Each structure stands twice: as structure tokens, then as C-alpha cells.
Amino acid sequence: MAPTPRATDTPPLTWDVFCHVIDNWGDVGVCWRLCRQLAAAGQRVRLWIDDATALDWMAPGARRGTVPGVRVHEWPRQADAPPPALDPGDVLIEGFGCHVPDAWVAALLPPVAHDGRPSVWLNLEYLSAEPWVARSHGLPSPVLSGTLRGRTKWFYFPGFTVDTGGLLREADLAQRQARFDAMAWRARLAPHAGPWVSLFCYEPRALPQLVVQPALHTAHWLVAAGRSAAAWAAQVAAHPAACPPGATVQVLDAVPQCAFDERLWACDLNAVRGEDSLVRALWAARPLLWQLYPQDDDAHHAKLEAFLRWFDGPPDWAAWMRTWNGVPGAETPALTPARLATWREAAAATRARLLAQDDMLTRLLAFVHHRRAAPGDARHAPATGPG
Ligand code: TRH
């Protein structure tokens, strides 16, 4: 089998990444990380986004073009908006099923790219550990009618196992983590000796229950601005008896992505939500509680169970994860320092397991390389990394 092309081996291509911001920060968060990592690997990236305001704090300067390799463009999503008069690209990515008008695809992605090879059109999907993800990753979606008839869009599914599209991870992540001084980071923020907890969540009903756990009686809570701070205000701050006297809290303004990542490295317990912050919590290798994006029909409960099966962590942690996500009937044992220590061991083991796999960028580049080299043959890129 041919070796997986490393990011630096791949000649620069022009990538158009499209992002439609629905709500919260996950769409822009994932698309921005992808763009930044593509650019760091020497690729040329145009990010098309319909609401770039979150980038002002997530990636200061990005809109002004201060990040080498990435240009941020406004994406007017009106159906009749004329396509831009720019040189066509080589790869076009629709983030999370955001539909790019046919005229734009036709203008930015002719079937044959600048070097005579086929261009590649991808739909980047949401992250899930459910078994169908591996089955669906890399499937073609042929266009059967309209002006793009005969073209093919490919499904790209990120995931936790080697048979999926992988997880975003910067090439220098491990080195930056090794250099990071958590105690110095904490000292800059507050003089507090107890455990540190970061809270990034929607409105988990179990929040008051978590706050009073024995391991967290003297915790310092770092609460993210926005929905997390509102949940804290409504469920904890509004009920003075709900907060143990030894606990302290700081509400933190939204910070750039790399600073958010460091917060997770510095804490003893990370409550995260959505998808991108979950991945960051996995890299942080600290005990985590993940709140999934709630869906009306509770479809997120199946997604949670799939994640728990893949993670294979301590049963008391799985029980807390269910409670944190409002799964009925979950019984949570008291969260003690000893329990927190076993969660930490499990988190470290999971990070090690993931680090043994190729990251998403490596797999994405391999996928695109494969599609450009052999159009119309087997649907999957070569396997990338150890099983
Ligand atoms: O904001 P989210 O809840 O995003 C959600 C989910 O992705 C969900 O699946 C999707 O359907 C919905 O959006 C539309 O959580 P997520 O995915 O963790 O994204 C948050 C991003 O914000 C992540 O990139 C980290 C970033 N962030 C910062 O950069 N600085 C901060 O201070 C904070 C709190 C977050």
C-alpha cells in the first residue's frame, strides 16, 4: 500500500471552504480550525462565511487577512448572488451540508483543476462515534440533474476510529502541550489552590448537582461567557445555597481558540459541548463532561451512547455523562477526588489511543490526493494509520 502523503509532501492546492453559521460557535469553530491547519500545511485557503463576527474573538485579525495562507470572504447566501470573479480552486468543501449554489460550484470548481487533475468536491459532516459513520465516510453523492449533472460530491466524516476521517489536531499540539505550564497559567488568573473546572455548556439541568459534589467543594469555576454564564446565573448564582462556600467563580469573556484550548489544559475537569470543544477536551486529557447539542427527538442520546462505547471509560463517569445530558434514569455516584483521578487516567489513555492514529488533516489530504490521482476508482482513500 502506498504510504500516506504527509501534509508537507502535498503540493499546494487552492481550497474553498464554505461555512454557514446556524447558531452557537461550532460551525465557524470547526471550519476555522480546518482552514488554519490547511494553511499551516502550505495549502491556499479561502474561507467563505455568511457571518464572520465570531472570528473577531476566535481568531483576531483573520478577517483582515493576518493569518498567512487564509483569506476570509463574505458569503452572501441569497440564491441569486453572483459567483465571485476569482481564479477557480482545486478543492471545495461544504461545511456541514451548507448548500453552495450550483453557479458558485461551477465558477469556483471546474471539473478539471489547474494542474489537469480532477477537482474534488466534499461535504464535511458532523462528528459522531455512531457505527454508520465509518460506513458512510468517503461515499460518493453523484449529481443526477441540473447544471452540475455528472459531477460527484464526496462525504467526509470526521471520527474517532481509523476507518473515518479522523479528528482535527495541529501538527505541533503535543509540543505545545509539553511546554505549557498549567500552574503559571492559573497563577495569572487567580490565586486558588482547589481544583479548577472549566464550564462550557448549554443548560444542563444537572449543573447544581455537579457544583455540590465532594470533589468540587473548593473548586474554582471558569465559566464561559454566553449560554454557559447564563446557565450558571440562573441555576447556581440565583440560589446562594446552591454553591458550596469554598467554591469561587470567574466568568470569562470569549477568547481566541488557542487560548480556549489552553484553558482546558489547565483545568482538572472540563465541561464541554457541541463537537469542537469535545475534541479539544480529548486532547487536553483531563476528566471531561460532554454536553451534546440537544436534539428535539433526543437523537443525541444514541450519539452519546456510541461515544461512551468507543471511549470505554469508568462506569461512574459514563453515568455522569448520561446525567449531564438529561438521560432519564441515570444514577450518578458521588464525585470524589478518587473518582476524578480515575477519570483522569482514562482520559490520558484515550488521548494516547487517538495520538496513535493519523489526524484529520493527514487523512483529508490523503483522501483528496487519492481522488485526484484516480478518479472513479475505489471510493475510499487508502487506510491511514495503525488500527
Ligand atoms: O458552540 P457549540 O455549541 O457549537 C455547536 C455544535 O458544534 C453543534 O454540533 C452544532 O450543530 C452547532 O454548533 C451549530 O460548541 P463547539 O462545537 O464546541 O464550538 C465552540 C467553538 O468555540 C470551539 O471552536 C471553541 C470555540 N471557543 C473559543 O474559541 N473561545 C471561547 O472562549 C469559547 C468558550 C469557545
Residue 385 lies in a domain: no
Minimum-distance ligand 1 atom for the alpha carbon of 226: 34
Q: Which of 90, 130, 275, 276 is catalytic?
A: 275
Catalytic status, residue 16: no
pTM, rounded to two decimals: 0.94
Residue 18 lies in a domain: yes
Same domain, 372 and 224: no
Is residue 299 located within the same domain as residue 287? yes
For residue 159, being part of any structural domain is answered with yes
Report CA(328)–ligand 1 centroid distance (Å). Answer: 25
Amino acid at 329: G
Q: Nine-digit cell at 67?
A: 493569518
- Beta partners for residue 94, in sequence order: 18, 123
Sheet with 120-124: list strands edge to edge: 70-74, 44-49, 14-19, 91-95, 120-124, 152-156, 140-142
Residue ranges of the chain with pLDDT lower than 50?
1-3, 5, 376-387
Model pLDDT, residue 375: 52
Please tell me the distance between residue 103's alpha carbon and the centre of ligand 1 in angstroms. 30
How many CB atoms are closer than 10 A to CB 387? 8
Note whether 75 and 21 are same-domain residues. yes
Euclidean distance between CA atoms 224 and 212, whole angstroms:
19
- How far from the centroid of its chain's Cα atoms is residue 269's Cα? 18
Q: Which three cell numbers stand for residue 157?
A: 466524516
Do both 218 and 366 map to the same domain?
A: no
Measured between alpha carbons, how far is residue 183 from residues 68, 154, 255, 272 in Å? 32, 45, 19, 21
Is the same domain home to 49 and 184?
no
Q: Indicate whether 329 and 187 sit together in one domain.
A: yes
Task: With respect to residue 334, please indicate whether it lies within any of the assigned structural domains.
Answer: yes
Specify the residue with its C-alpha closest to ligand 1, atom 29.
257
Gap between the terminal Cα atoms of the chain: 15
Q: What pLDDT does residue 2 have?
A: 45
Q: Residue 125's domain is classified under what CATH number?
A: 3.40.50
For ligand 1, what atom is nearest to the CA of residue 96?
11
Look at residue 5 and tell me if it is in a domain.
no
In a domain, 2, yes or no: no
Q: What is the best residue among 23, 25, 272 to mutate for testing ligand 1's pocket, by most ligand atoms within 8 Å of CB? A: 25
Given this model, what pLDDT does residue 199 score? 98
Best of 130, 227, 276, 304 to mutate for ligand 1, by most ligand atoms within 8 A of CB? 276
Could you tell me the distance, in angstroms and rounded to a whole number, from the CA of residue 282 to the centre of ligand 1? 15
Query: Annotated catalytic, 377?
Result: no
Q: Are 188 and 214 in contact (CB under 8 A)?
A: no
Q: Is residue 23 part of a domain?
A: yes
> How high is the pLDDT of residue 237?
93
What CA–CA distance (Å, rounded) separates 41 from 89? Answer: 17
The C-alpha cell that represents 265 in the structure block: 489544559
Angle among Cα 360, 98, 257 to the nearest 5 degrees reads 50
Does 231 share its domain with 319? yes
> Looking at the 3D structure of the chain, how many domains does it have?
2
| Structure confidence by residue, pLDDT tens digits, 122-179 | 999 999 999 999 999 999 999 999 999 999 999 999 999 999 999 999 999 999 999 9
Distances (CA, A) of 24 to 33, 52, 54, 65, 140: 16, 12, 9, 24, 29
| Ligand 1 atom showing the smallest separation from residue 23 Cα | 14
- Residue closest via CA to ligand 1's atom 23 equals 29
Identify whether residues 18 and 162 lie together within a single domain.
Answer: yes
The residue whose CA is least distant from atom 31 of ligand 1 is 254
Q: Give the structural domain span for 373.
A: 14-166+358-378
Q: Are residues 345 and 368 in the same domain?
A: no
CA distance 290 to 217: 21
Based on the fold, state whether residues 23 and 108 are members of the same structural domain: yes
β-strands 91-95, 120-124 pairing: parallel
Are residues 258 and 125 both part of a single domain? no
Which residue's alpha carbon is at the smallest distance from atom 33 of ligand 1? 254
Q: Could you tell me if 323 and 182 lie in one domain?
A: yes
Q: What Å distances lie between residue 365 and 43, 258, 373, 384, CA to CA?
A: 10, 23, 12, 11
Quick one: cell of 74? Answer: 463574505
- Ligand 1 center to 376 CA (angstroms): 36
Tell me the CA–centroid distance for residue 377 and ligand 1, in Å: 36
pLDDT tens digits, one per residue of 44-81 = 999 999 999 999 999 999 999 999 999 999 999 888 89
- Closest atom of ligand 1 to CA, residue 272: 18
Q: Name residues contacting ligand 1 (CB within 6 A).
A: 22-27, 29, 58, 126, 200, 224, 254-255, 257, 260, 273-277, 293
